[in-house]
A and B are shown apart, each in its own frame.
Chain A
Amino acid sequence: MSEQRINRMKDLPSTHLLGTGTPMCSGCGGLEALHQIYDVLGEKTVFVNAAGCMTLLSVYPFTPFRGSWLYTAMASAPAGAQGVRDALDILQQRGDMGPQEDLDVVVLTGDGSAYGMGLSATSAAMDRGLDFIYICYDNEGYGNTGQQSSSATPHAAITSTSGGSRGYPGYKKDLFSIWAAHRPAYVATVIGSEPLDLARKIEKARELKGSRMIIALAPCPTGWAYDPKDSVEIGRLAVKTGVWPLKEYIDGQLVHTRIPRERAPVEEYLRLQGRFAHLFTPATNTAMIAEIQARVDRYWDEVV
Chain B
Amino acid sequence: MYRIRIHGRGGQGIKMASRVLGSALFHAGFNVQDAPKYGAERRGAPIFSYVRAARAPINERGTIYNPDLVVVADDTLLAVPAAGTLLGLDAHTVVLVNSHQSADTWRQRLNIDGSLLILPAGTETEDRAALPHIGATCAGAAACLLGVIDRDVLAKAIDEELAELGPDTVTKNRTNALAAFDAMADQRGCVEEGAAIAATDYVPPEWVEMPLDAARVSAPIIRASGNSVEVRTGLWRTIRPVIDYDHCKHCWWVCSTLCPDSAITVTDNTPIIDYDHCKGCMVCAGVCPPHAIAGEPEYLAQQRETSLTEREGTDATDTADR
Contacts and interface: CB of A to CB of B under 8 A. Distances in A.
A15 B272 CA distance: 11
A252 interface: no
A57 B233 CA distance: 13
Interface residues of B, number: 42
Interface string B219-239: 010101111111111001100
A21 B286 contact: no
Contacts of B258: 32, 192-193, 195, 232
Contacts of B274: 20
A9 B253 contact: yes
Interface string B244-286: 0000000011001111111101100000001011011111011
Given A19-B228, A228-B43, A24 B261 contact: yes
Interface in A19-47: 19-29, 31-32, 35-36
B22 interface: no
B286 A230 contact: yes
Contact of A195 (B45, B225, B253, B277): B253
Interface string B37-48: 000101111000
A187 B231 CA distance: 35
B197 interface: no
A19 B229 contact: yes
Given A62-B230, A67-B225, A31 B277 contact: no
B265 A14 contact: yes
Residue in A10, A16, A59, A193 with the greatest tally of chain B CB atoms within 10 Å: A16
B159 to A, nearest CB: 19
Interface in B23-52: 40, 42-45
Contact of A64 (B45, B226, B253): B226
Nearest to B274: A20
A20 B231 CA distance: 8
A24 B260 contact: yes
A222 B226 contact: no
Contact of B257 (A12, A28, A57, A63): A12
Interface in A92-146: none
B261 A229 contact: no
Contact of B233 (A12, A21, A231): A21
A65 B225 contact: yes
A268 interface: no
B228 A62 contact: yes
B257 A61 contact: no
A14 B222 CA distance: 27
A66 interface: yes
Interface string A197-234: 00000000000000000000000011000011111110
A232 B260 CA distance: 10
30 contacts: A14-B253, A14-B256, A15-B266, A16-B256, A17-B262, A19-B262, A20-B228, A20-B277, A21-B233, A22-B228, A24-B260, A26-B44, A26-B260, A27-B283, A31-B260, A31-B261, A32-B283, A35-B261, A61-B220, A63-B226, A63-B227, A64-B226, A221-B43, A221-B281, A222-B43, A228-B282, A229-B282, A230-B286, A232-B286, A232-B287
